Structures are given as structure tokens and as C-alpha cells.
Structure 1
Amino acid sequence: MTRVAPQPALDFSITDDQVANIIASVIEEELATNNAIAALKPEEQTYETIVVPLARIENNLSGKIQLASSLSQISPDAVVREASVEAEKKYEEFSIEQTMRHDLYEVIQEFINKTDLSTLDHEDARMLKKMETSFRRNGLHLSQEKRDEFKELRKRLSEVCIEYMKNWSRESSSITFTKDELEGLDDDFIGGLDTREEDGVKKYVLTMKYPDVRPLLKLCKNENTRKVHMTAFESRNRENVALLDEAVKIRRECAKILGYKSHAAYVLEVKMAKSVESVRNFVDDLATRLKEAGIKEIEILKNLKEEEKALRNEPFDGKINSWDTSYYERILLEKKYSVDQEQIKKYFSLEPTIQKMLEIYAKVLGLRFVKVPSDKAVVWHEDVQLFECWDDVEDKSFSGYMYLDLFPRDSKYPHAACFPFQPSYIKEDGERVAPIAAMVANFTKPTADKPSLLKHEEVVTLFHELGHVMHHLCSRTKYARFHGTSVEGDFVEAPSQMLENWCYDSKSLKYLSSHFETGEPISDEMIDLIIKSKNVNAAISNLRQLFFGIFDMELHTSDDENLDSNKLYNDLREKVSLIAAPEGSCGQAAFGHIMGGYDAGYYGYMWSKVFSSDMFYSKFEENTLSPEVGYSYRKCILEKGSSKDGMDLLKDFLGREPSSDAFMRENIGIN
């Protein structure tokens, strides 16, 4: 018998007026609750009058806030997107006002001071401890004058960050080339491009979106075309440079007001790393150990370039440029490992791959997915799919909803990410509100005669982002604030990075693959080549990630009021990644992470890789599809959200202190 989900999915036939009304009602409810608590007399300050209403309002309103703000990145309706941006601004301003309320702080802090937190439920006590830390980090212990200054700075910072992200997500520049200039790109790709006449010549239009950028940089034989496109790509959103510079100055000022040495010190206080010194030691050590291997990898690519230039009777500049790395890495893979991504992608048609990927998640995590028919799913775009998720191990209960929005369109979020629309929590009557999340990506759209085909790296992206969705669907916490990926910023990627390993597992790859024409699975030989090629140019790849982390950390530890972010970015790009940025470019203008919540936190991608390797190689390596280990992972890591510290979650799952041994073994060829 088909079971009916106990709660409805979201209704995305939402208008701009409704978006505005949602935020208006959220603000009204939250304000009323805060006012009531702030007005409590000392004898009225109890658990029931403070903790219960605070938890209730946060639980009830979190999903509404997340939904209203997410529409700016996904809605195809420009009016709704604008309403979402305005709603986010309005709520941010209100939220800053509320977190700076001294009357509210005095009541809650007084209650905390006189309460033995050890007598409370674990999540209750944790919530109050987090509040206490938050009060201090919001400067509520400061004088009125300093609080007012801090509040105004935070308001402006919010505006700047929203404007930057709006520019980034709506970037729509393009560049044109003749068909000859696109030598190496297949007819299917070129046939899918828009065209225009320029001076009587037919030109093909390429955007700065990944479905255009990646194929061109990997496949185009014309170096000048790659150079021109890469330069345009790395120079997009130039208007964001001033916004980033302003944000960095404001963050520095805010940190100083609160008594921190730098914005990075402020951010890291609540991360696993805890201090700037520990992060610097980590990234500097890795960069040092990877440098020699990186130089060797660049020499190999340089030799390939010299050989090709000789065959094409073209001059060789003696360098590997930023527009060369993807192209010659592709040639290296084809020559050394016969890894032809154009052949591999024929085995990973999007729809069957998603279905089989969900079957792997279902088996390993003990879940069941049911696709909702398109005529019964109210979604924000016709391409979007909706799935129900059910527990398949314990009580067979409803676990939540998952949306998939996988193809590019104008003004849509340009990368791949998980959007959490509704966190899970326990209502006052004891019932659980199920979570709702979406995976948003930009894979190539199917054509009339060919499905959307995924390169192996896109299969990895799909597995990774779905991993974040699983974190939401499996989370079981009392409070919304501890749900899903609300873990420390330098741990949040570890669960999904760990799941990427399935994309390099022979059993899983065989199961996932199916030739889009014949239905045949990928051959053992091709699987072997994919696995062996995993760490090709690993040093260059990891050095690039380290560069982003080091730039982010330098930006947010500097005391230089006149810091030139462009010079810092380009100098570090060449020093750390060993490859220079295109001349005149401004890559930091499209570095969305450090304006969208990862400021002083990008190092976390590499930091969390250490833990992801430990989890996978310690627990899953012998049997990657083990339901027993998968269920333990679900219970110890995913289910707990941030109701415990990330380090404690790791210890619970591993049964010991985490170690870097597995990471070193995995990357043994580049140590």
C-alpha cells in the first residue's frame, strides 16, 4: 500500500506579494516574542517563559525565512527574485536589530547566570550556551555607543554581501567566437549555442556559465580562444571588487570593536580549528609539501604543450597558463590513462544516474525514495523534480522532501549547492516536522536526440551535493537551529566529501553506469582508469584549493586599511597555485564563498578532507555499500546535526580520536 506523506510539500506558486507577506509575518511574530521576554520581571524569568518561547519561534520561523531568501537564487520570475532579495535585506536588518537588543540580552543572560545548565536537557543547555556565546560575539557586553556603532556596521555589511551575491548569481556576460575558433569542440556542443551575426560573420555565443566554460577550457584546441574566454571568465563581476573591499574593512572594524585581533580570529572561535595559528600551520604545511609535486606536474603538462605546439606549427611560450591546465590535463588523462571524458559521459546519462545514485544512498543509509508525479508536484520551474524520502530501517516514517533543479537558466544560482528550505524539529506535541531541501546544479540540458550526459567530475559533484541533502533528510534534532548542515563550518563539507569516494569505487561505478544507447555498464578497464586517474594533477588541484583558503585567511587577518585585494589575489594565485591569473583579471570579484558565509572559512574544504578520508578509509573501504556501516554513519554523524560538536561526532563514529593517517595514505603519491 502506498503511504501518504504526513505533511505537504511546499507550494511554489508563490508571488512577490506572498514573499513580502511571509517576511512581514515572521518579523511580527519574532518581535512579539522578543518583546514579551524582554518585559519579564526577575521573578517571571523561568524555563517556560524564556527557553520554550525562544525555541518555538525559532523552530516555527526558520523554514519560512530560508524559503523566502532562497527564491532570489532559483525563481525564474524576476519579480519574485527581486522580492526575495528585498525580503532577505528586510529580515537581515530586523535580525541585526534584535540580536543587538540589550533589554533582551539582560533577561536571557540573567536567566543563564542563575541556571544550572547541567540540569537541563542536552539540546536545551546547548541552545543556551550558544546564545551566551552569541551575545558576546554580538557585542552586547559593550557600551551603548559601541553597540550602536557595531549595529550600523553589521547592517551595512549585510547590504554589501547581498549586493555582491546578487551581482554574482545574475552575471550574464558572454563572448563570441567563430566556428573555426572553437576547434576541438563537438558539433553537439556548438549546435546548442546561440548565434549572432557580427560584421556579416556568424558567431557563436558562449556565456560565463560552467556548461560553457568547462567544455571550452578542456577541449578547445585554439589557445587564444581559451585565453580570451578564461580572461573574460576571471574578469566577470568587476563591480564586486569594491563591494568585497568594503566588506573586508567592515569585518575588520567589527572584530576590533569586539576585542578580536582580526575577523578571522572572530570567525574561528566557533570552528573546529579554533585559531588562526592552527589554520595557518595546516595550510602552510600542506602548501610546502605539495609544492615540489606541483612543479613536477606542471613540467609534465608543459612537455605535452610543447609537443602539441610543434605538431601544430605554433610558437611555444614555455609556460602553462591558467587557460592551459584543464586542456592539457585532459590530454594527459587520455594519453596516460586513455581517460576520454567524452566517452565516459556516455555511460552517465543524468536521469538513470540519479536514480541509481538514490538507490545507493537508499541502501547505504537505510532510506527509500519515491518520485512525486510532475502533475502533483508544485515546483518553481518545469525542470524541477520532487521526491519523497522515507525511512526504510526503523519505523518506516516519513523523512522529508527533496527537490532536484539541475539545469542552467537565466539568473539562476550559477554553481551547485544544497538549498535547505525547511529544517526538521520536534513540535510541542511531540511530532516531528520533516525537513525539505533542494539540490541546485547546472548540468548540460538534454537535446531532442540526446539525454543530458555527465562527465565523471559532474557525477562526483552530483554525489557530493546530494550528500548535503542527505544530511538534511537524515537529521533528527529537537531544535531547528541544530538541524542538518548547521555543524561547524570547517566540518560541514566532511560528510559530503566522504561520499565522493563512491565515485571512485569499482562496485559503485559499475552499478551507476549505463550507456545511454546500449544500456551496457561501463567496462572494468575504464573503471580501472578512472580510479587510477583520481590523483592525476592532485598537487595542482590541492594547491589551487589552498590558494583560495590562504587568500581568504590573508584578506581577513590583514590590518592594512588600504589592502589591494586584486594584488593580493593575483600574487598569491601565482605563489601558491604556481600558475598565474590571466592578466588584468579580478578573480576575487566572483569568489562567492567569502561573501556568502565562508569568510575566513574556505580553508575548511581542505581541513574537512582530512576527516572525510578518515571516515571512509577507516569504515567503508572494505565494503563501500555496507548497510550496517552506513546506518552507523547515519546515526552517529548525519542524524545528530550540530546537536554535538563535530569532533565528538567523529569520535562517536570512529570509536577513537580522528587521525590524518588515512588522508596521507590516500594522497601518498603527492606527499
Structure 2
Amino acid sequence: MTQTAPAPSLDFSINAAQVESITNDIIAEELAVNDEISALKPEEQTYENIVVRLARMENELAGKAQLVSSLSQISPDADIREASVAAETKYDQFSIDQSMRHDLFTVIQSYISKTDLDTLDAEDARLLRKLERSFIRNGLHLSEEKRDEFKELRKRLSEVCIEFNKNWSRESSTVKFTKEELEGLDDDFLDGLKKEEEDGVTKYILTMKYPDVRPVLKLCKNENTRKVHNTAYESRNQENIALLEEAVKLRRQAAKVLGYKSHAAYVLEVKMAKTVEAVETFLNDLADKLYAPGRKEIERLKELKKVRSIVTEKAERGEEFDGSFNAWDSSYYERILLENEYSVDQEEIKKFFSLETTIQKMLDIYEKVLGLKFVKVSAENATVWHPDVQLFECWDAVEDKSFSGYMYLDLFPRDNKYSHAACFPLQPSYITENGERVAPIAAMVANFTKPTASKPSLLKHDDVVTLFHELGHVMHHLCSRTKYARFHGTSVEGDFVEAPSQMLENWCYDPKSLKYLTSHFETGEPISDEIIERIVKAKNVDAAIQNLRQLFFGIYDMTIHTSEDENLDTTEVYNALREKISLVAAPKGSFGQAAFGHLMGGYDAGYYGYMWSKVFSSDMFFSRFEKDTLSAEAGFSYRKNVLEKGSSRDGMDLLKSFLGREPSSEAFMREDIGVTN
């Protein structure tokens, strides 16, 4: 390849002072443009000095704004994180002020009223329509008194959400156990833990992060250890309860000011679902369908627990079966069920999924299916925010062989880092005035187990699914080709955004792809056909329980965001709905909603979207890829019709273009729910 990739447009080596300086520059430039446009007289209002000016400003500033806000979640430097939080707060407050400018709204509305939008380029017309709608959704059609009230509510809501997320990302509580209390965990896991001496006894220190919590809940034979760790995990971030309840109240008040019945009604107006009624019908219908099979799965796991209490580890400890099945039992007995009845041993399977090899082979699959080429940038040539971070170039391999963008991988846990797995869209792509495309930058941030001196990082199969999913969001960014940054990548409707990534999870259950992905970390041998068959068969084991858990989160989200209760007790609602919907009670005294980050991170009144978009993801995969999962033809069509378009068209239109028909729920009901029409 003779072309050279351009330098990344974002500099991750900036210090705390530069974070503040960049933020001030963004605000100054945006303010100047908005002031100039809002001062235009009717006869001065043109396409060039309104549409072009606004679009150019948004294009050029979007990546810088993403950079300074993202550092709060990924930087290892405490001063930079603090500066990033301050910058995000400052910019959010400024953005709220600007989005409430009546003078700017008046000029844009005036221009739209005398312009035939159908004569404009499709993205130009869409940009103007979106601008007008966003101003109206910000209350600019209201009286000045009501506008001021709405603006103050939004400002306080922004502060509350930032504070919640700061607490959530910096959560650092721990629990301590002796080696005996951690029976069932292997030496590799224990060797990776910090230890301390207490009264001459060695105690292992475990955090509330996934690499610590998941192994304990799946593998630890001591039920009390699982109970203690799970209860602590579900009881973290207590300080966030008041912040969540304030946010729910502020959202309710803001929606009422705008004339909406509820915050959920306001949010859903611009989603695919459109109405609260449509979402509630969808969620409740699924919950009803899954109740009986969920009960059956719970009883099977409970019976397994009863048997173990008589003949195995519980009996050896003299622990009697009390007839209960608890939150800390689910992962443990599900693992035993998979091992006993499906011979699926995750500890054995993970030996075939070393992280580095799996990523490379996963990228090979993306290359083949989507028509891309990835090139790893050497450590000495990559400017990154932490030594663990890797940088890749992405190139088109089918059409013009052009540079597609940069991908960063930040995959291991560290203190004060974002604690889950997600794609961070750092620099959206767009087309400059001279017709050149500014390349996108996206990062996958995750918390997989770190390699040791003697062993690489090994992934359980569900980690592989997570990796495929989040990399799918990255592909959405890298493949996107839009004129404006506003419409780039995953900026699609919130209840469609997960569908492209959910579709790609299906490769993790495709025998041909699994065979290719695997390589034993010691021998290099691929996984056997027999084990692959077991993994595929086990895909829908306890599917009802798992889907009910997702439904619980979605129903809880909709419940608190449609409630009229001014004194809503979010803990009481959370624990009551959890037992009713998921069929398993929360640990006594816990308050899981305090660490339900989605509620304060853009998924408020939108969590249902995970299940909603699953309908579309199943339809896309089973109609176009099931016969040949590595089809370059189907993959390129998917890239062109879905990923490339970003949100420059409605999600439903993208689906129809790719499928060649109206979408259907048939594949979802058959493959994911087990119901045939």
C-alpha cells in the first residue's frame, strides 16, 4: 500500500491546562459564529452564511469537544480527569445556553420559511429540519419566562448527570476474602489480586469491576462469598441515589414545561418507536411471553442447587438447601448447568481465545466481510493516553483504497478508568469545503483480564461476544461517509443504534467463524468441532432469564420516566420490579440503580432500545448472512446501505434499503425468543 495515513486529528498527549484552553477556544468560536448568524437581517440570510457556517463550525469543533470530555473516562492522570470533568460541565452549560437562543432560532426559522428545502442537497435539508426541531424541542416556541425555566432545569440536569457519572467511573470500593473463602478460583486469578495481611491472615482484595466480580459469581464454591461480593457490587455508589432521583424529577419538570405528558414521551418522539404506548406494549408483551419459560429455567437451576447441596460442595460444608434461589446463584449454577448438560466449560474454552490473537482474527473477519484493511501502528509511532493502548489504521480494500480512519483499543482495567465496555466516538468524519474527508477516530474501551508474565489475556466466550459487539460500533464509525459530522456513525436513532453491533454478535455462534477465531494459547490448535457444537447449542440456555433481565432494566427505565410521583423512591421501584420481572430478587438492602449508568449516560427512557433493535439485528443477519456468514457481497451491501449512511437517513429507510423489504420480527421471535408464528 503506497498511500500514507494522515496524522490523527486529535492529540491525546494534552495536559490539564490544554484541556481548559481547548474548551475555551471551542466556546469562543461557537459563540462568535452564533452571534454573527443571529445578527443577520432577512435580506442577508443565505445558504452560505447560515447553513454552511453552522455546518462548518459543527464539523470542525465536534472532535475537539469529544476529546476534552472523553479524557475524564480514560486518562490515567488525575489532573487531566478533573480538568476534563470541568471542561465537560462548562461546555454543556454553554451548549444549553446556545441551544436556547431565541435570536438564533428566529433567523434559522426565517430562512427555512422562505426556502424550498426540497431543492437543497438531502443532507443540507436534513440538517435544517433537525436544527429547527431541536430548537422547538428546547422550548424556543415558548414565552421567555418558560424558556428561562427550561434552561435552568437543563443546566442543573447536566450538572447532576456529570456528577453521577464521575462517581460511577471512580467507584473504588473493595471486599476482602481469604484464600479458603475464594475456593474455586484458580491461581492465575488469585495471583492477579492485591493482598494484605490482617491479624496474620492473608486477605485477597477484590474490586467491583467486572474482571473481579464475574469470576467470583461464576466460580466461587462458597455461597457466602458470592453473596457478600454480589451484595457489595449491587450496593455501590450510594451517593448516586439522590442524584438519580433529582434527575428524574428535573426531567419530569422539563417535559411538562415543553407540554409533554412525561420525559419518556419527549424522548421517544424522535426515536423509531415514537410513543410510550408502543414501547410499553413491546416490553410487556415480551415479559408475558417469557414469564412461563423463565419460571421453568429458574426451577431447573434451583433443582440443581438442591442436588449440589446434597451430594457436592454445599454438603461438604454442611450447608443446607433452604429452598431459595438468589441473585448470587444465577451465574454459578448456570455455569454448572452448561458444564453438566452441554459440556461447556468456559475455563477450558477461554484457553482458545487469547486476546491478541482473537482481536487479529476478528479484524480479519471484518476485513473479509466489510471490505476493509487494518494496519497496526507501532508503539513508537502512536500517541496514546496509556501504554496499554493500541492504535490501528483502517483502509478501504474494495473501492478507492482510501484511508478510512483510526481505531484505538484500550482493553485492560486500571484505577479511575471507565469500568465497562464501550465504543468512544472521538472524531466524527465529515467532508471539508475542498471536498476532502476528515477521517474518523473511534476507541474501544474495555476491561478484560490483563496478561501475566506466563499467560496471555484469555477471554471467555461472552467476552468474545462483547468484543465483537463493541468493535461493531467502531466499524460503524470507520465505515461512515457523511457530509456532516452531525450525521456520522452511531448518531442514528437511539433505538436503532445497537442493531448493527447486535447483528455482528451472531458471528460468535457461527461454526465457521468460531473455528477461524480460535487458537489454543499454548499449542495453536483451533477449538474442536465438538466444543463448537456445544457452544452453539448452549446459545439459548437460560435465554428467558437473560431476556427477562434486559426487560427488567427497560421496564424500570420507562416506569421512572413516566411516573407522576414527585417523591419517587427509585430503590423501592427497582427492587420490586427486579423481583417481579427478572424473577430473582435483588440482594437485601441493595440499590442497583445507583450504578445503572445508562440512566445518566444518554439511555434515559431509551434502555428498551437494546431489545427493540434486536428485532432488526436478527432480521438483518438471518435474512442476509445465515447461509454464508462470511459473504463479502452481503457484507459490502451492509456497509454501503447501513454503516456508511450514518444518520443521514432515517434508520427505517436504511433497513429497507439493505433488506429490500419492510423489516420483520419473525427471525427475532424464532431465534431469540423461541416462538414461531
User: Would you call these one fold, judging by a TM-score over 0.5?
Assistant: yes
1:480-513, Cα deviation, whole Å (9 max, x unpaired): 0000000000000000000000000000000000
Look up the match of 1:624. Answer: 629
Look up the match of 1:644. Answer: 649
**Alignment check: 8 A CA contact 1:293 1:670 kept:** no
User: Within 2, Cα distance between the matches of 1:192 and 1:383?
Assistant: 17
| TM-score of the aligned structures, taking structure 1 as reference length | 0.99
> Which of 503, 515, 521 is residue 516 of structure 1 equivalent to?
521
Look up the match of 2:615. Answer: 610
Look up the match of 2:348. Answer: 343
Verify: 1:354 aligned to 2:356, yes or no: no
Look up the match of 2:58. Answer: 58
**Alignment check: 8 A CA contact 2:211 2:449 kept:** yes
**Alignment check: 8 A CA contact 1:349 1:516 kept:** yes
Q: How does 1:193-204 map to 2 (within 5 A)?
A: 193-204=193-204
Look up the match of 1:451. Answer: 456
User: Within 1, Cα distance between the matches of 2:567 and 2:196?
Assistant: 43
Q: Secondary structure at the match of 1:161?
A: helix
Verify: 1:664 aligned to 2:669, yes or no: yes
User: Within 2, Cα distance between the matches of 1:389 and 1:38?
Assistant: 40
Look up the match of 1:28. Answer: 28
> Which of 433, 445, 466 is residue 461 of structure 1 equivalent to?
466
User: Within 2, Cα distance between the matches of 1:670 and 1:580?
Assistant: 27
Report the identity percentage.
77
**Alignment check: 8 A CA contact 2:10 2:63 kept:** no
Which one-letter code corresponds to 1:643 in the other structure?
S
User: Within 2, Cα distance between the matches of 1:316 and 1:129?
Assistant: 62
**Alignment check: 8 A CA contact 2:507 2:514 kept:** yes
1:224-282, Cα deviation, whole Å (9 max, x unpaired): 00000000000000000000000000000000000000000000000000000000000
Which one-letter code corresponds to 2:61 in the other structure?
L
User: Within 2, Cα distance between the matches of 1:11 and 1:286?
Assistant: 46
1:324-367, Cα deviation, whole Å (9 max, x unpaired): 00000000000011000000000000000000000000000000
**Alignment check: 8 A CA contact 2:10 2:67 kept:** no
**Alignment check: 8 A CA contact 2:8 2:406 kept:** no
Q: CA deviation at 1:543?
A: 0.2
User: Within 2, Cα distance between the matches of 1:303 and 1:21?
Assistant: 62
Which one-letter code corresponds to 1:393 in the other structure?
V
Q: CA deviation at 1:667?
A: 2.9
> Which of 409, 426, 429 is residue 424 of structure 1 equivalent to?
429
User: Within 2, Cα distance between the matches of 1:10 and 1:360?
Assistant: 28
Look up the match of 1:558. Answer: 563
Alignment size in residue pairs: 671
Look up the match of 1:481. Answer: 486
Q: How does 1:290-439 map to 2 (within 5 A)?
A: 290-311=290-311, 312-313=314-315, 314-439=319-444
**Alignment check: 8 A CA contact 1:348 1:514 kept:** yes
Verify: 1:503 aligned to 2:504, yes or no: no
User: Within 1, Cα distance between the matches of 2:435 and 2:486?
Assistant: 17
- Aligned-pair Cα RMSD in Å: 0.8
User: Within 2, Cα distance between the matches of 1:610 and 1:42?
Assistant: 47
User: Within 2, Cα distance between the matches of 1:635 and 1:670?
Assistant: 32
User: Within 2, Cα distance between the matches of 1:11 and 1:105?
Assistant: 34
**Alignment check: 8 A CA contact 1:264 1:600 kept:** yes
Look up the match of 2:577. Answer: 572
**Alignment check: 8 A CA contact 1:538 1:670 kept:** no
User: Within 1, Cα distance between the matches of 2:154 and 2:11?
Assistant: 33
Q: Secondary structure at the match of 1:203?
A: strand
Verify: 1:75 aligned to 2:69, yes or no: no
Which one-letter code corresponds to 2:631 in the other structure?
S
User: Within 1, Cα distance between the matches of 2:566 and 2:612?
Assistant: 29
Q: CA deviation at 1:614?
A: 0.1
User: Within 1, Cα distance between the matches of 2:112 and 2:589?
Assistant: 54
Q: CA deviation at 1:668?
A: 5.3
Q: Secondary structure at the match of 2:630?
A: coil
Look up the match of 2:259. Answer: 259
Q: Secondary structure at the match of 2:309?
A: helix
Which one-letter code corresponds to 1:188 in the other structure?
D
Look up the match of 2:156. Answer: 156
**Alignment check: 8 A CA contact 1:9 1:401 kept:** no
User: Within 2, Cα distance between the matches of 1:592 and 1:637?
Assistant: 28
Which one-letter code corresponds to 2:645 in the other structure?
K
Q: CA deviation at 1:39?
A: 0.4
1:123-170, Cα deviation, whole Å (9 max, x unpaired): 000011111111110000011111111101100000000000000001
CA 1:83 to 1:310, structure 2 compared with 1: closer, same or farther past 3 Å? same
1:82-109, Cα deviation, whole Å (9 max, x unpaired): 0000000000000000000111111111
Look up the match of 1:442. Answer: 447
Q: CA deviation at 1:319?
A: 1.9
- Deviant stretches of 4+, over 4 Å: none
Verify: 1:94 aligned to 2:81, yes or no: no
User: Within 1, Cα distance between the matches of 2:6 and 2:20?
Assistant: 28
| Structure 1 gap segments, 5+ residues each | none
CA 1:281 to 1:426, structure 2 compared with 1: closer, same or farther past 3 Å? same
Look up the match of 2:44. Answer: 44
Q: CA deviation at 1:50?
A: 0.6
User: Within 2, Cα distance between the matches of 1:576 and 1:629?
Assistant: 38
| TM-score of the aligned structures, taking structure 2 as reference length | 0.98
Q: CA deviation at 1:199?
A: 2.6
Q: Secondary structure at the match of 1:147?
A: helix
